[in-house]
Amino acid sequence: MHAVQYIPGMAQDLVTAEELPYVSPPHKRTELVRGVLVVREPPGYQHGYVATRLALAIGGHVRTHDLGHMVICDTGFKLFSDPDTVRGPDIAFVRKERVPDPLPEGFAPFAPDLAVEVRSPGDRPGEVLAKVADWLEAGTALVWVVDPARREARVYRADGSESVIAGDGALEGEALLPGFECRLAGIF
């Protein structure tokens, strides 16, 4: 494996999922999209607050009902190969029957069942929709995009349907997280 060095403003060779851990611009978040390194600033405080509150709600439900695993902090999932795509949602859930044993030490070689993206002020709508498309194409059943600025959430499903949840509404786990409900007002 050759060393990969990130140089801002310079054209880069395609990066593989195996090389990605060695590419570490300081204080940045990275994903790999079709072999291209995508570097972002860390999200702000509001993003972290909303993601934490939602993660606590999901995690409590998952643990209480022994439904599987929930992961946070941009845990990497390798969605596609040649060229590689590694995405990291703010929150992800994997059903119990799909959790590998042993757990992967590196990127999970599959898509989660639920991917949650919390929008930051710097997120461009097209980039967010590209992430949603990647999750769904890779097999994710449900994608939630939570937007603190608009105080709403968008729900995208594998069957192609989508819905908008207003700030006075609630995210529901549907068949994936039976009985889960989280009022948006409680996380904003």
Q: How many domains are there within the chain? A: 1
pLDDT per residue of the chain (188 residues) written in tens, 0 to 9: 333 444 455 456 899 999 988 886 877 888 899 999 998 888 889 999 999 999 999 999 999 999 999 999 889 999 999 999 999 999 999 999 999 999 999 999 999 999 999 999 888 899 999 999 999 999 999 999 999 999 999 999 999 999 999 999 999 999 999 999 999 999 99
**133 within a domain of the structure (yes/no):** yes
Output the pLDDT for position 74. 81
Report the pLDDT value the prediction gives residue 167, as an integer from 0 to 100: 94
State pTM to two decimals: 0.89
Q: Are 98 and 113 in contact (CB under 8 A)?
A: yes
Q: Provide the pLDDT for residue 126.
A: 92
Q: Does residue 18 fall inside a structural domain?
A: no
Q: What is the pLDDT of residue 24?
A: 67
Residue with tokens 């643990």: 63
Q: What is the CATH number of the domain that holds 85?
A: 3.90.1570.10
Q: Is residue 6 part of a domain?
A: no
Q: Is residue 170 part of a domain?
A: yes
Query: Can you give the residue range of the structural domain that contains 108?
Result: 44-186
CB 87 within 8 Å of CB 134: yes
- On whether residue 38 sits in a domain, the answer given is no
Q: Do the domain assignments include residue 26?
A: no
- Does residue 14 fall inside a structural domain? no
pLDDT of residue 130: 95
